[in-house]
Amino acid sequence: MSAPQTFRTSPGSYFGLCGTFCVPAAFLAWAVLFAGRSDLSHPLLFFIALPAAAAAWLAYFRLRIDDWGIEYRDLFGGSFRVAYSEIVSLKSHRVPGRYSAQVWLLYLHDGRQLRVNLKPFPRAVYGLLCERVRCAA
């Protein structure tokens, strides 16, 4: 039996998302502090709250892999725990469109498809899942 592994959001995800949301706050803070634009203090509070909300959202992601199966948690997709014996395969799909995205789906024997967002996790997670679950590119 191997020890269960729990993965949380990678630091790069925090840096990318929260850093992007900090840019407008930095410009507004400059305008409030150095240009004397006190009328921008309320929008500044909003733009300070954006990175805080993004960090809270990213902190909620969790993926636990053990000998029995997979436990996954995200803010909008819900949570699930599924045994390896229930999984047919893990497949990645590219969603076409203006902003194309990578989507990973767990296909189960009962016909269900469970969406797993692997983007916020370290890259090694996909390889580990492929070792445990039959993967198709």
Give per-residue pLDDT as tens, 53-95: 888 888 888 999 998 999 999 877 678 999 999 999 999 888 8
Torsion sign, CA atoms 44, 53, 9, 98? negative
The mean per-residue pLDDT over the stretch 86-113 comes to 87
Q: Where are the domains of the chain?
A: 8-60, 62-136
What does 31-58 look like in DSSP terms, one character per residue?
HHHTS--GGGHHHHHHHHHHHHHHHHHH
- Alpha-carbon distance of 58 to 89, in angstroms, equals 26
Class of domain 62-136: mainly beta
